[in-house]
Amino acid sequence: MAVRSIDLKVIVGLGNPGSKYTETRHNAGFWFIEEVARKYSATFRPEKKFHGEVAKISLEGKDIWLLKPDTFMNRSGLATQSLLSFYRINADQLLVAHDEIDLPPGTAKLKTGGGHGGHNGLRDIISQLGCKDFHRLRIGVGHPGHKDQVVDYVLHNPSRDDRISIDRDIDDAVAVLPDLAAGAFEQAMQTLHSK
């Protein structure tokens, strides 16, 4: 199997805007991207043309855009497509961080491509980009046990123990960013998945 490399230029964190949603499971992507900005001393600023807040970090000698869409989750593709198209960035140079109900809290995984798995943010990004070939950081938030409970579940806050586990995952994921920036996708994946 060929070793995958990555030319990372943009990280998008998915979530819903507004204080009502700040601590809900669906905002795990925001939690991740905010931690990246904090660690690399970057400040988000509103950018109307990208339908969100942007920041830029320098990592392994490369500039990487951070984007927090201020659209609601099901319109995440609008912000993502606007930034990629403005800077002529390809989908395979994009990492999308999102909550993942099919992984338990305490688990974060990297993957490339695939479907949306019912996630409305991913669904809209795939629709707007017209492809699935972007990289994903799946942050486990657990599953309520029945598909009919998923919407309510992701729009509520995790338990204290779950939030501690999710925050630990986010720290582990932030720690592999230098590998991703250096193009070493497989190395980053191996390190993160062995946690």
Catalytic positions: 26
168, 92 in Cβ contact below 8 A?
A: no
Q: What are phi and psi of 89, to 5 degrees?
A: -105, 135
Separation of alpha carbons 129 and 118, rounded Å: 17
Rounded to whole angstroms, the Cα distance separating 138 from 162 reads: 15
Rounded Cα–Cα distance for residues 171 and 36 (Å): 9
Residue 58 near residue 98, CB atoms below 8 Å: no
Give the ranges where 112-184 is alpha helix by DSSP (H): 120-129, 150-154, 160-175, 177-181
**Which residues make beta-bridge pairs with 108?**
139
Q: Which amino acid is at 75?
A: R
CA 100 – CA 123 distance, rounded (Å) = 13
